[in-house]
Structure 1
Amino acid sequence: MTNRTLVVTGGHGILGRAVVEAALAQGLNVALIDHAAGKAPDGALEIGGVDLTDAGATGAAIAKVVERFGGIDALLNIAGGFVWQTTDDAHPAWDRMFALNLTTALNASRAALPHLKASAEGRIVNVGANGALKAAAGMGAYGASKSAVHRLTEALAEELKSTSVTVNAVLPSILDTPQNRADMPDANPANWVQPSDLAEVMLFLASPASRAMTGALVPVTGRV
């Protein structure tokens, strides 16, 4: 997979950082795009301060990646957000969840598509959610937005079957993160998904070896 260029949105988050570090370890060219600014791991191109809910800003960021590396081979849409909220909450988060989880993936995919189609093995890997398959209480807004990511994955995969580009999504359950440990102190995090393990699955889907898969929604659920 050397000389392939990956774009990772949400690259400063815990999962994003795990993917960036694993990709660099594989010798890939890596560009990290995030709303936040920060220090990227050595060897990665960092493009911070990008509002991925804005199509123009997203397109400009993708253009910077192409200017640096000459093309894009894979897009990993990790940028997103989560909220637990019942439907009668006084401040509904539905619009915000759709903006953070669906619009960011849509804008990045649209901006990257011309370059992915030019790759011999173009890839889009989205992050859905196992919890969106059947939403529990308080998961309506988040689950609906991630379900929309699932439908985007399936539709785009069908639309691109005549090209080199495949589109798949991972559906993780609970990730082992400091925030989740704090929110669920009585749970056993040994049963959760390690970000590094999910990163490996995503990098397989971003690789030429996954060429026979498209439109797949891949559960990555640990032992929950």
Structure 2
Amino acid sequence: MNREYQRDYIDDYKQKGLRKQLVDSIRQKGITAENVLQAINNIPRHFFLDTAFESIAYEDRAFPIGEGQTISQPYTVAYQSQLLDIKPFEKVLEIGTGSAYQSCVLGELKANVYTIERQKKLFDLVKKFPFKARYPTLRFFYGDGYEGLPTYGPFDKILVTAAAPEIPEKLLQQLKTGGKMVIPVGEKEVQRMLRLTKISATEFDQEIFADFSFVPMLAGKNF
């Protein structure tokens, strides 16, 4: 996938109208957090996709972005964002930058975002993406999501955007007491969305939510 960052970025009335329809549809599916819905409405999703997908960018489904990765379905982005319950200026660690769409939604929610991507080609694409300059609180890292970013922790919130076979212990250690992690867990085609709240250094409250399907969370870095 080659997103052409030399292209003209135009967000016209048609695209804005389609985006409003998208927001209405995910509201009908159960998303109630108005700040999340507004963030989805404010961000031109078609900017994050190859121009070949521009005419269908506001369908509520995932699309390929290269390297075996996808830009998540908007409902999924909204669902995870709602579970995180972001407050302005919270420090958030995101595992799996991908297209940076979810990263920008977190930025729109006024979070201080530290996001990791293990695919070097996707990481290099995001570095060239002019739209990310709209959110100066986004910080991008090339690395292994399982390792997190201990130098920059602890974090108020952690968001994992890939399917983990189990909850990574190193990420739990980087979560503040009282902080929350949202993560899809499971090794099969469908994963269960979990939210963990850190009660103490060794205690966590676990909540179980709906089933989703994510690409697998892999260890290491891919050059």
Higher relative contact order (CA 8 A, sep 6+): 1
Structure 1 or 2: larger strand share? 2
Shorter-normalised TM range: 0.3 to 0.5
TM-score (norm 2): 0.41
TM-score (norm 1): 0.41
Structure 1 or 2: larger helix share? 1
